[in-house]
């Protein structure tokens, strides 16, 4: 009997997580899609004819993550691959960010990978086989303005995964830090915007959609999965991410000054820390045209 390897994708209902799930499925894995929204999970799973299961899971809930991992393992076999993609994007100047925004970002993107890893590691260590991947971001290497909670959490995720990879050397289990730059997944409409929400949404959605700035998410997901399955400690997916790693390491002061200059061109703080979801904002015609590719990606990746 052919044994089907099992892959868990935390945040697999939409966007990059769904793209990664597709790549794993094409490689013959049973894909366990995990996310908080059951309806979104059902829509995502509908494109797979076989070797798929859905599991409602909040990565911030330690006991809940363990229950889902046990459910998957008991129902479909030991988890061979676990990739954490779940995330939240909050865009706005630091003066318009509340402390709870940091709590939300750290809970999902820093605590989430820890909860996932600690739930799958005992079985992987025992079998001396397993692959763990954590999707971080170029925002975890260089902290751009107006993305402070996001970058704070991504820096933490990179530190965790890098340290874990070192401690797993020789065990048969690997941990991969995944560092993409901007990608066209359609996630800008799921992001939350504070301050001048409309203006923040305009610049961010264009940056996340324009082909010359952002990368195709399907090709990016393919490289990510290749790197995780190969057991690489680090996968940088876009030229922007590759460059950020090197420039930040060689010229940290220059990098910070460059970010400061970029900040001057972004919307001013308004004192409004109430987040507004991108899909709730009206978009000017020129921005609609510039985000054409992002909206196509959103439709493909269950982001609508």
Q: Which pLDDT score is estimated for 295?
A: 79
Q: Tell me the fold of 6-300.
A: Rossmann fold (3.40.50)
Q: Name which of 168, 209, 232 is nearest 294 in CA terms.
A: 209
Report the run of H or E that residue 236 belongs to, with start and end: strand 234-236
Q: Which pLDDT score is estimated for 65?
A: 99
Collapse the DSSP code of 133 into the 3-class scheme (helix H, G, I; strand E, B; otherwise coil) and give the result: strand
The first and second tokens of residue 174, run together, are: 């690997």
What whole-number distance in Å separates Cα of residue 265 and Cα of residue 260?
9
Please give the backbone phi and psi of residue 219, each rounded to the nearest 5 degrees, phi first.
Answer: -65, -40
What whole-number distance in Å separates Cα of residue 59 and Cα of residue 73?
17
| Catalytically annotated residues | 150
DSSP label at 2? Answer: P
The first and second tokens of residue 196, run together, are: 């001048």
Q: Name which of 183, 189, 191, 190 is nearest 209 in CA terms.
A: 183
Q: Which pLDDT score is estimated for 304?
A: 67
This prediction's pTM: 0.95
For residue 183, CA distances in Å to 130, 133, 134, 247 come to: 27, 18, 16, 20
Q: Which pLDDT score is estimated for 290?
A: 78
Q: Name which of 286, 65, 105, 93 is nearest 200 in CA terms.
A: 93
Whether the CB-CB separation of 173 and 128 falls below 8 Å is answered with: yes
Collapse the DSSP code of 95 into the 3-class scheme (helix H, G, I; strand E, B; otherwise coil) and give the result: helix
Please give the backbone phi and psi of residue 139, each rounded to the nearest 5 degrees, phi first.
Answer: -70, -10
Q: Which pLDDT score is estimated for 149?
A: 98
Query: Structural domain boundaries of the chain?
Result: 6-300
What whole-number distance in Å separates Cα of residue 181 and Cα of residue 151?
12
What residues of the chain score a pLDDT lower than 70? 1, 212, 304
Q: Write the DSSP string, 78-94.
A: -EEEEEE-----EES-G
The first and second tokens of residue 83, run together, are: 């990739």
Collapse the DSSP code of 151 into the 3-class scheme (helix H, G, I; strand E, B; otherwise coil) and give the result: helix
């Amino acid at each position: 009997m052919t044994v089907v390897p099992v892959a868990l994708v935390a945040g697999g209902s939409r966007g990059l997580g769904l793209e990664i799930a597709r790549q794993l499925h094409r490689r013959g894995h049973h894909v366990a899609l995990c996310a908080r929204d059951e309806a979104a999970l059902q829509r995502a799973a509908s494109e797979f004819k076989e070797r798929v299961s859905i599991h409602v899971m909040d990565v911030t809930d330690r006991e809940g993550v363990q229950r889902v991992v046990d459910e998957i393992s008991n129902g479909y076999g030991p988890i061979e691959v676990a990739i954490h993609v779940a995330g939240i994007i909050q865009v706005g100047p630091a003066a318009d960010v509340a402390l709870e925004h940091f709590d939300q970002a750290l809970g999902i993107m820093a605590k989430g990978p820890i909860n996932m890893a600690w739930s799958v590691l005992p079985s992987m260590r025992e079998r001396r086989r397993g692959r763990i991947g954590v999707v971080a971001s170029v925002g975890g290497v260089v902290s751009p303005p107006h993305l402070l909670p996001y970058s704070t959490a991504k820096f933490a995720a990179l530190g965790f995964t890098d340290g874990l990879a070192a401690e797993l050397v020789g065990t048969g289990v690997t941990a991969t830090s995944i560092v993409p730059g901007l990608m066209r997944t359609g996630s800008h409409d799921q992001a939350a915007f504070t301050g001048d929400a409309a203006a923040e949404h305009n610049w961010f959605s264009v940056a996340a959609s324009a082909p010359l700035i952002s990368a195709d998410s399907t090709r990016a997901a393919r490289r990510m999965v290749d790197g995780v399955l190969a057991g690489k400690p680090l996968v940088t997916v876009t030229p922007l991410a590759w460059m950020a790693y090197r420039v930040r390491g060689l010229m940290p002061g220059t990098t910070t000054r460059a970010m400061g200059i970029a900040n001057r061109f972004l919307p001013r703080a308004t004192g409004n820390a109430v987040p507004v979801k991108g899909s709730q904002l009206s978009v000017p015609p020129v921005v609609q045209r510039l985000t054409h590719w992002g909206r196509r990606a959103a439709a493909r990746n269950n982001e609508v």
